[in-house]
Chain A
Amino acid sequence: MRGPEPEPAVPGGKDPEEYAPSVARRLAFYQRAGGIVTPLLTALFAFLMGGLVVVSTGHNPLTTYKAIFEGAGLNWFFHFGNYHIDVPFTNHHVWFWWDTNTNHTAAYNLTQTLLTTAPLILTGLAVAFAFRCGLFNIGGQGQYLVGAIVGVYVGSRFVSMAHFPHVVFAIVAAAIAGALWGAIAGFLKAAVGAHEVITTIMLNWIAYWAGSYLFGRGGPLQNHVDKSIPISDDISHGAHLSAIWGNPALQALHSGIFIAVASLFVFYLILNRTTLGYEVRAVGFNPEAARYGGISVSRNFILAMAISGLFAGLAGGLDILGWQFRLGVLDVQVSNIGFIGIAVALLGRNTAVGVGLGALLFGSLFTGTSTRSLDPNIFPPQLAGNLALMIQALILLFVGADLLILYVWQARKKLRVPRTPKAAPAEEGA
């Protein structure tokens, strides 16, 4: 009696979502489909288009990209030799394949790339984590700023504290501040259904103007040395994160990079190995089923936004304690590290590995095109900065576009092999 049970190939489907999938559903689909190939193609296309722009300015795109590559210090990996590195906390050193001397441009540029990569990892995670809960966190920037503000406050006060506790205190305070800032949006979503995109954008502006006021002329947190400069006090020396690579006077790479990389693992572990992560993913995929399963959707909205904010706030704190050491109104107003995090997360498909690689790509791109790093004989750095922004925009555009491509591809597949009951009633035939 019971043969294989063919689900009827019902072109009239059962689920109205199949005809008009929501943005979240489409992005979730993008997250799964195509594996690693699509983000690679996405980036490749963006660079190709950027190359066309370079051509249109009368420069050679190949040499320009090579210069950007070297400006980012990535060529460092390709120079092998007989070098050594110091073993920390001892006088010993051991043989090493690469030259770590930052007097050489490549190594120095690489430290600068990694310096940018660290906060990008964290702001990328801030977007990715919320996304896994079905929330689009545009507020990474605000959460980053709040973290930086609190970081600079704690770092520049409590000067009597010992080095290690002071650093830890400042970092934890910055992270918690970011978490609270994020949680506001989560709470508003949970309590009154206010859309997180709107509220996080508003919170970004609140953080922006709060920073501008606090450190502005006559502001309560303006420095005590020169009242004509709208900038904070310097953080105390004891609150500096230790430099791990390079000359601290020349913006060395600080130990925050370890925290950022460790955060990637934490992100993965929370999502895939904890009950909290299970809940977050359940809510992200299907809030109604999660609720039916006994999961509190509102609690997860708040928690996911708080954890997102925590990552972003951590980024702000690390930047202050690692290399900025102070925060000016100008810093507050030109910073866009939180926004780049959106591109990082989307390109990285909201996974730990993807975010890590995406952050490295954008970190390299921005360092490689900076006035400091790019060889002005090859491509004018004033244009290069715009080129970086353009490539970033193109990547975002293509993330959206390949979503579309994948969607069409999937619809076609559905029509051709309608084993699933989801044949799309597209207007054209198979």
Chain B
Amino acid sequence: MADAAPAAPLLEMRGITKTFPGVLANDHVDFDLRRGEVHALLGENGAGKSTLMSILYGLYTADSGEILINGKPVEINSPKHAIELGIGMVHQHFMLIPVMTVTENIVLANEPRRAGVFIDEPTAEERVAEVARSLKFAVNPHALVQDITVGQQQRVEIMKALYRNANIVILDEPTAVLTPQEAQELFEILRTLTREGISIIFITHKLNEVLAIADRITVLRRGKEIETVPREGATEAGLARAMVGREVLLRVEKKPASPGELLLHVEDLVVKDDRGLEAVRGVSFDVRAGEIVGIAGVDGNGQSELIDALTGLRGVASGSIVVGGDDLTRANAREALDSGIGHIPEDRHRRGLVLDFNLAENLVLHDYGKEPFSHLGWVSPRRWLRWARGILEEFDVRGGGPATRGSSLSGGNQQKVVVAREVTRNPSVLIAAQPTRGLDVGAIEFVHRRLVEQRDAGKAVLLVSLELEEVLSLSDRILVLYEGRIVAEFPPDVSEEEVGIAMIGGRQREAA
């Protein structure tokens, strides 16, 4: 904030080093936090942000280095201890019990008691209300957590930390689950908190957020602290360079597209979500051979339902889907796959892989029933293993062989397995949904290169991503999905701002 007096830092981490087998996760990292500031911790996946904060929160112990709170060295051995020291953490995935009320969740493990055993509900409610009042939170304390929005659940998490008297709150990628609107509300809350003297550590990899909310910014790259800078004077380009270690190429290198025949034709498609509401409302578009069409949009604007409908995983309410001449409007997943659809799903753990299967079994997930993978209903695991070995080599999957279980690979290698499976099936239309979510820079480049390769091999590629940069850098045409409709189409050289405006429904974005 403006009155950031250079007092002694509230928290100091000095020379923190942490190694995991084969990985130097933190390499002599220094980090400090002043009272009442928002200090952003910026870095790519795997840069060591989470490890550093896990050390602070007592989940890991550092190999070397020290932590000082109010100038006094402390040893934090457990989250419990961290909480006692006034450190609260809001994880990316909330640790709330859905069937309990807001109040019950907040006081959990720290309940005011009567006669030692009974929960003193009136006192609990009063204290929760007090916390809520001081922060001007609008959350019904009697509501069940499962009934409130994700944004509200996040507030409950923050209240939980404050209820335990935290004066340092760590937020791990807090906007990942929020809509832009909710993110703005979160920023308001953070400003209120800092006015109350609470310090915030804000873990993120999104540059615009950092510039919107942080007072100071520390950039980590591959476990090393690269720089700590005040927001004033920081630029997206400068931070990006610090994060990645080189000038960031926003555009993937590729030749201009030469679109050929029409392979995917979608017309007036209407798809309902799980609640029966129209999530996709009359979408029409074409994807031709040899082009990448990107669909940009804020999460929850119908992307998942659109992909599910195209891949036969969800029924179509009306409209039509035609793939290379086959009408797939009423097709199930099997028929869609057999008609030449390839699908890199957005969630590789939930969908893309059977984590308990070995890699060979995962690679045959679509075609186990076809020759040569099976014959008259009989399968040959040995042949699968032999065949898979070659595929894994070709796609440079590391960390295991064909008999390794899917769950023991790193995220990047898991995604390579998914990409390998979809690409080797030789589909005519490849649908890639958030294909680089949670991947590090090497794996991202791999996936992007493969997508461009597929385009150049004459496939129709449909890329659906929440990362605007990804859509902009890969696509030959860009469609913007907003509230279930395609509201704009852009050529590849469009500016990020123009697409961004369309993504939020044409309104000017709030100045960041």
Contacts and interface: CB of A to CB of B under 8 A. Distances in A.
Interface string A1-27: 111111111111111100100000000
Interface stretch (B73-81, B185-193, B226-234, B269-277): B73-81
B413 interface: yes
A293 B58 CA distance: 40
A261 interface: no
A286 B356 contact: yes
B289 interface: no
B361 A12 contact: no
A7 B411 contact: yes
B17 interface: no
Contacts of B365: 282, 289, 292-294
A420 interface: yes
Contacts of B345: 292
A418 B51 CA distance: 10
A281 interface: yes
Contacts of B313: 291-292
Interface stretch (A65-73, A168-176, A270-278, A335-343): A270-278
Grouping DSSP codes into helix (H, G, I), strand (E, B) and loop, the A interface class, with mixed when no group exceeds half, is loop
Interface stretch (B87-95, B114-122, B294-302, B478-486): B87-95
A268 interface: no
Nearest to B409: A7
Grouping DSSP codes into helix (H, G, I), strand (E, B) and loop, the B interface class, with mixed when no group exceeds half, is loop
Contact of B378 (A7, A274, A425, A429): A274
A6 B25 contact: yes
A285 B442 contact: no
A19 to B, nearest CB: 7
Given A6-B25, A419-B21, A429-B61, A273 B50 contact: no
A225 interface: no
Interface centre among B349, B366, B381, B443 (most CB of A within 10 A): B349
Q: When A and B form their complex, which 9 residue pairs have the shortest distance between CB atoms, in order from nearest?
A: A7-B410, A294-B334, A293-B365, A6-B23, A8-B46, A2-B442, A285-B356, A11-B54, A12-B91
Given A273-B378, A423-B54, A11 B60 contact: yes
Given A13-B93, A421-B411, A6 B354 contact: no
B498 interface: no
Interface residues of B, number: 68
A6 B20 contact: yes
A351 B136 CA distance: 57
Nearest to B343: A292
B315 to A, nearest CB: 13
Interface string B148-180: 000000000000000000000000110000000
B369 interface: yes
B6 interface: no
B354 A5 contact: no
A275 B379 contact: yes
B333 to A, nearest CB: 5
Nearest to A424: B59
Contacts of A378: none
B488 to A, nearest CB: 30
